[in-house]
Structures are given as C-alpha cells and as structure tokens.
Amino acid sequence: MGQSRATFDQSKITALRENLPPFSAETALVDPADTALGQYLDFYQLPIPRGDLHLRAGVINLHQAEQHQAIVSLCWMPKNPLGSVIVVHGYMDHMGLFNHLIEHLLERRLNVICFDLPGHGLSTGQPGFILDYAHYVRALTGVIDISQTMFDLPLQAIGQSMGGAILLKHLINFGRKENYPFARLNLLAPLLRPRGWGVNRLLFRLVRLFSGSSKRVFRPSSFDVEFLDFVKNRDPFQPRRVPMAWVAALDQWIKEFCRFRANDQFTDTQINLIQGSGDKTLAWQDNLTQFKHQLPGLKVQIIAEANHHLVNEIEPLRREIFAALKL
C-alpha cells in the first residue's frame, strides 16, 4: 500500500460524503484543490487529476425497501480512452484499496469507474451488512446505467472476490444477449465457497442464535505485509465485526449459482477467471470445478503462489496478475 501521506478520520469521511454532488454525465470535473476529496485520494494513494487525467466524483441515490442508500462513485478519465471498465471490490474492501489496479487500467487508456458497495467505504449502510446479494447488484446496475450515459465506448468489468460474485449474479439476472452491458468480465478469485465452508457454515448458524455478529479475524489474504498492516491497523473503513446476515446471504448466493444453467440465449461475453494457487481464503479448487461446469467457455489462468487479494499482492505477483487481465 505504501506509506500514507495524510491522515483520514471519521470527520473527514463525513465531510467528503456530505459534499459530493449527484454522480452523472453532467457532474463537474473534480478540482484537484478540493480539500476533502484531495485528502481521500492522498490517503489511499489514488490517482490525482492533473493534466490530461480527469476525475468525476459523486453520489448515486438508491431507494430500495423503503431505505435510502448513497452509493459513492469515482470515475477517472484519461486522454483519448479506448474503453471503459467498472471495478467491483470485495467484502470488507472499498475502492480506496484499488490504487494499483486503477493506475494499471489508466496506463491502458481506459476510463475507470469505481464505487463503494452498500455498507462499504464511503457509501452508506451498516458496515458489512446485507440481506441478499441482490442489493449489491442494484448498486452495480445504478453505476452501469450512469456509465452508459457518460461513455459510448465498449464497457467491461473487473471484480475481486465478492466483486466477482456480484458480476456473476448480475450475469445470471441480466445475461441475455440483447441487453447485457459488458463485452468482457475479469473475475479475480471470485467468491463462492470459502475455505472450510462446511464446518464454518454450521458454526455461523450456532453463533447467529446468540448474536447478530461475530468478531472479525484478519487473516493473511496477500503476501504484501505492508498492505495487511494497513488494512488491519490504519484503514478507517475496516469493520471489526462480521454481521451474520452477510453469511446467510453468502449461503443463498452459493445455492443460487449452483442452480444456474447457461443456455443459448445467454450472452457470449468473454469471461476470464484469474486465481492464485496460494489462496488461503477460498476453497478455490472446488470452486473452480463448479465455475467450469456452470460457465462453458470460461477461460482460467492460475497464478502460482498468489494469495486471495490479487489486486494487492506483492509487486512481482501483481505484475503477473495484471498481465493476465483480458482488456
């Protein structure tokens, strides 16, 4: 992650969220002198808009089940872009942790649209809480709708871990050839069954009888020890507890995907799955068998020794991972 060049606390988070305009094609470009947003970009070492690089930042207001959610989105735009990419982060992640990937995509002259899922990062919602992955898909759909008004270039998507699962659920829901928005999907260690899921699923059910959440255990998801330290000790967006409702939503997602069957009416979008062989978070070998069965034509690339959080692996592995992206 590198050494943070600023501090970023709850008061700055609140000030930034409350002062962002609605996210749209008409949203004014970000002024690099914007103090609150500038501090956020600096803290997470995200690209600063200058010269030929522009940035839009804003809020997408969603209303679902009588609840209002503010989804914060950022869009970086290089000069003469060749396409556009929507990036979907994983569980307990947020777009601030994707600086390496964003920089790589900008180097490839792609517009980069990032957003924080409900209950994550700058977006509103109880931290880590969700009843159904459909709520995540609604947030993604809101971002897609606005992105399509901003750009008429080919649209693709990259999802890390749960972000990959959200892209797959969106595919299941909307993957008909005539209206599916993505020309290509890159799934980085997509979430299906976590490691030890059979036992842990029973334990979570027992815990749920007595508590609505459990203490979060920060497990090593990367070989980059500086990144792991930042996430555990310095990132203000990291929850300390895991809501049991999210575990139930994961169980529901696993069942839904395993029932899914593609047919000839489905999109022929290229799906590229990148998986680390050193993944200590997922039961990745069993998951890979399931993905290949459900998704005919899936392209799989295994990165030797890479752990789970592929966008934040050590630099030599990250270079190999980014080279495996189909852009």
Q: Does some domain include residue 2?
A: no
Degrees, nearest 5: CA angle 95-42-12: 80
Which candidate, 30, 2, 44, places its Cα nearest to that of 238? 44
Average pLDDT, the chain: 91
Write the CA distances from 319 to 104, 279, 306, integer angstroms.
Answer: 10, 17, 11
pLDDT at position 80 is 95
Residue 210, pLDDT score: 60
Q: Which residues pair with 55 in a beta bridge?
A: 76
Whole-number Å distance between alpha carbons of 144 and 105: 18
pTM: 0.94
Element housing 210 (H / E): helix 197-210
The pLDDT score that the predictor gives to residue 177 is 75
Please tell me the predicted confidence (pLDDT) of residue 34.
73
4, pLDDT greater than 50:
no
Does residue 193 fall inside a structural domain?
yes
Q: What number of H helices and E strands is found in the chain?
A: 10, 10
CA dist 46 → 87, 284, 316 (Å) = 14, 30, 20
CA 235 to chain centre: 17
Residue predicted with more confidence, 325 or 1: 325
3 part of a folded domain:
no
- pLDDT for the residue numbered 245: 86
Confidence category of residue 42, pLDDT binned at 50, 70, 90:
very high
Residues in the chain: 327
Looking up residue 90, the CATH number of its domain turns out to be 3.40.50.1820
Q: Could you tell me if residue 206 is inside a domain?
A: yes
Distances (CA, A) of 28 to 54, 69, 232: 10, 22, 35
Could you report how far apart the first and last alpha carbons of the chain are, in Å?
24
DSSP 8-state assignment for residue 28: P
Q: Domain for residue 262, yes or no?
A: yes
Specify the higher pLDDT residue, 317 or 62. Answer: 317
Q: Establish if 305 belongs to a structural domain.
A: yes
Phi-psi region of 181 (alpha: psi -120 to 50; beta: other; left: phi over 0): alpha
Residue 154 lies in a domain: yes
pLDDT of residue 218: 94
Summarised one tens digit per residue, pLDDT across range 115-167 is 999 999 999 999 999 889 999 999 999 999 999 999 987 899 999 999 999 99
Residues 304 and 314 sit within 8 Å (Cβ to Cβ): no
More confident residue, 204 or 110: 110
Domain containing 266: what range? 10-324
Report which of 116, 110, 71, 79 is spatially closest to residue 98, judged by C-alpha positions.
116
Our count of domains for the chain comes to 1
**Residue 17, CA distances (Å) to 40, 72, 231, 258 in order:** 11, 8, 21, 38
**pLDDT of 3 higher than 90:** no
pLDDT of residue 205: 63
- Helix then strand then coil, % of the chain, to nearest 5: 40, 20, 40
Token code pair at residue 305: 């020794």
Cα angle 49-53-55, degrees, rounded to a multiple of 5: 55
Query: Is 212 contained in some domain?
Result: yes
Q: What is the pLDDT of residues 228-246, one digit of tens each?
A: 999 999 999 999 998 888 8
Residue 112: name the closest of 163, 62, 147, 139 by CA: 147
Q: Is 59 helix (H, G, I), strand (E, B) or coil?
A: strand
| CA dist list (Å): 153 to 82, 111, 164, 177 | 7, 9, 22, 18
pLDDT tens column, 268-293: 899 999 999 999 999 999 999 999 99
Which 8-state DSSP code applies to residue 53? B
Q: What is the pLDDT of residues 190-205, one digit of tens each?
A: 999 999 886 666 666 6
**pLDDT for 51:** 93
